[in-house]
Amino acid sequence: MTVVQPSRADSATAHFDAAREVLVAGISGTARENAALGQAMLAASGEGPYIVAPDGSRFLDYFTGFGSVILGYDHAGVRAAIEQALDMGIIHGPETVYQEQLARRIVNLVPSAEMVRFANSGSEATMAAIRLARAHTQRAKILKFEGHFHGIHEHVLYNTHPEPRTVTTGEILETSADSAGIPAAFADAVIVTPWNDLSAVQHAFELYGPDIAAVIMEPINYNAGALLADIGYLRAVREITRDHGSVLIFDEVLSGFRTGTDCAQGFYGVTPDVTLLGKAVANGVPLAVIAGRRDVMSELAPLGQSAHSGTYSGHIFGVKAALATLDALEAPGVFDGESGLLAMSERLYSGLRDIFEHRDIRCRVQGVGPRFALYFGLDPEVEPRAYQDIAGHDSDTLKQFARACYARGVYFHVYEVVVGHHGFGTAHDARIIDETLDRVDAACVDLAAD
């Protein structure tokens, strides 16, 4: 097997040294830096399941653009859709027929969707949805969960990666801002409880029920790796929010289109009031979706008084790309077929488990659909269900593993302070999965040798 050597000491390092003169830290966003490499990945192009470096090295990609590239890079249908948008003159501002077409597709696929509004990013979508819920309920507070991430803004940037602590059932947590520059006053409108702890939600509503405008959650907590909700817990939260007149928001920016075209809400059989989509909906082209109950969505201006608009909302590139992406995802066998995403998930995860067991590496492999976590240092047989279950994972070994895989031509993106998540898409067929497992096994031998 050809070993791909890292380019950290040559062109990539030289590039980032120069970039730091004009780009903050040499990168376009904090999360682009790979903590395992000490710098961002420098790419020249993408092809199917591969990232191609400037020196021509090809890396099997398990980053997929923060989870957005579900069909692989340079997908023919998405490329053709963008070319059609180019031929239209990159028109934006006026509506076209395609926004309505995409909205109707989403309404037909996503259980909670009765009306749709387009946005540009997951952060914008969560911000607009929270404002919408407050307008609908005439209340101020929101309830979110420890370890859940909902974007980079002051309303939600709390307790996404806290320090390990002693867990007490039913507790309401002290809010802790995840960024400097957030005024303390914003914390007064945020309640934080542990995930999968129904008594904590009940306690929060006992104390603050008349003030809670919305409960927002990742129904599959991918931002902490891949933590599933207990179905009874999710159903109970649905009932509590309905009884108290609070808006239940599913942030499916990451979970959307991972388990099927009906998203995580279809997977669980629990329907929220508002759903937020992004990432995979347009295969990496910027687009986000706010969808939900007609009466709630009607609070958006100009029907209601909740402001939301933007120069690039529903941009033709994202809309056309999303239509092409949904065409591909709705094809027979994409999720459930013998070579579908769910079958390839099991092939990859079972293969990784076998490798770690054989190489005597303690690691919990946990995935839901084609998105997964590698929790080094945790019991491989015990399923973590909440953030504190994984707070003590071995981040140093994860970084060492990612470096060893990088040297073997497999790319895992690792963050400095959060567990992170990995994933793949339809371009990763059985041959690619098996090649990945061969390279990972070799990387584990290298890891043991170090």
Q: Mind listing the pLDDT tens digit for each residue in 327-386?
A: 999 999 999 999 999 999 999 999 999 999 999 999 999 999 999 999 999 999 999 999
What residue type is assigned to position 191 of the chain?
Answer: I
CA-to-CA dists, residue 241 to 31, 108, 272, 384, 412, angstroms: 33, 25, 10, 25, 38
Fold of 76-329: Aspartate Aminotransferase; domain 2 (3.40.640)
Domain boundaries, the chain: 11-74+334-449, 76-329
Give the pLDDT band (50/70/90) at residue 103. Answer: very high
d(CA 11, CA 257) in angstroms, rounded, equals: 37
Tokens encoding 180 = 């400097």
d(CA 402, CA 63) in angstroms, rounded, equals: 11
Q: What is the pLDDT at residue 10?
A: 63
Q: What is the pLDDT at residue 7?
A: 45
For 208-230, the pLDDT digits (tens) are: 999 999 999 999 999 999 999 99
* Mean pLDDT for the chain overall: 95
Average pLDDT score over residue span 280-306: 98
Check if the beta carbon of residue 268 is closer than 8 Å to that of residue 234: yes
Report phi then psi at 121, rounded to 5: -150, 165
Are both 11-74+334-449 and 76-329 of the same fold? no
Architecture category of domain 11-74+334-449 in CATH = Alpha-Beta Complex (3.90)
Q: Which residues are within 8 A (CB) of 440 and not within 5 positions of it... i.e. 6 or more apart?
A: 352, 355, 405, 408, 410
d(CA 69, CA 239) in angstroms, rounded, equals: 34
The answer, yes or no, to whether residue 9 has pLDDT greater than 50, is no
Q: What is the pLDDT at residue 4?
A: 46
Q: Note the pTM of the prediction, 2 decimals.
A: 0.96
d(CA 223, CA 150) in angstroms, rounded, equals: 9
Q: What is the pLDDT at residue 420?
A: 86
Provide Rg for the chain, Cα atoms.
22
Give the pLDDT band (50/70/90) at residue 2. Answer: very low
Tokens encoding 441 = 């096994």
Check if the beta carbon of residue 33 is closer than 8 Å to that of residue 27: yes
The answer, yes or no, to whether residue 25 has pLDDT greater than 50, is yes
Q: What is the pLDDT at residue 390?
A: 96
- Which among 333, 374, 370 is positioned nearest to 352, based on CA atoms? 374
